[in-house]
Amino acid sequence: MSTNDGTRLNKFLSEIGYCSRREADKLIEGRKVKINGQIAGIGAKVSAGDKVMVNGQLIDNTIENHVYIAFNKPIGIVCTTDTLNEKDNIVDYIQHERRIFPIGRLDKDSEGLIFLTSDGDIVNKILRAGNKHEKEYIVTVDRPVSKEFITKMSNGIPILGSTTKKCLVEQTKADEFRIVLTQGLNRQIRRMCEYLNYEVIKLKRVRIMNIKLDVGQGNWRNLNPAEMAQIQSMLIGSTNTSKKAIKHADIGKLAESKSNSKSANSSKTKGQQRSGGAKSNSGEYGKSNSNGTSRAKTQSSNKTNDRTKGRNRASTGTSKGRNRSGKR
């Protein structure tokens, strides 16, 4: 079993089509996976020649080339790999020989282009809104589209606690428009239209990045090498970093900013102290402000003490006089 080189075990089981990474993690946590006869732990890696067993069965560790397909999803098909609980799932509909899963989703009531793949690493790079990969839709609504509608849709609509990003929206027919998004919020286009009191009658995705919908409804095709090369070039610089990692990076920048701010404030304080010292030592005015006040306080304190002593002496003398007078 390899600990430094090779492929992480959960990724390996996913790539060979045995199960998803999440399911693989559960198997590993349940101590049901062995590498070369030893029970594998979370984070274990598989190298060429290693023997992997799951639930006592030897797994073929031959990793085939990944599958990338473009599918024209019909209305009524659900973009899920849950084949047990959803009878109209996309996996059973396509019946591909490899274990594949959709990149993103289209609503059950929507149709059009969707990618499916066996490559888990490419998914987040395509989907993450920050990477600005375009998805184009043709939408039919229940009444004529106005200029005000196009303007508001283009500039952003408040849904789901935030405002959608600015996007390209063009009218194509009296009751139809084209919209290009780089986001993928839940039922985004439908919610945007509902906010403006329009109802979506038909929603069809016709393009993802450089791939246009060019197969009949319910059909699919493999993406060719030239298309994949173009997609890979568009993914250069894209990230699949999680929000948590980004948040940590932001916290690091904030901490660095605070540290620099403290440093600057410290320098200012030192400068002020030096400047204050220079003023106090330059000229008689600075001296009289500090020393004069101190001397006045000292003189006042001495006078008070003298008065107190005088009273005490007077009181003592009177007392002695009374004592002497009493003795007489």
Give the residue numbers annotated as catalytic, written as ranges: 107
3-state SS class at 2? strand
CA–CA dist 197, 190 (Å, integer): 10
Q: Closest Cα partner for 196 from 165, 136, 154, 138?
A: 154
The rounded radius of gyration (Å) of the Cα atoms in the chain is 39
What is the C-alpha separation between 137 and 134, in angstroms, rounded?
Answer: 10
CA distances from 160 to 185, 187, 192, 198 (A): 8, 10, 10, 17
Both tokens of residue 253?
């920048």
Q: How far apart are CA 188 and CA 143, in angstroms?
A: 19
Round to whole Å and give the CA distance between 328 and 315: 20
**How many Cβ atoms are within 10 Å of 75's Cβ, its own excluded?**
15
Torsion sign (Cα): 308, 312, 315, 321: negative
SS3 298: helix
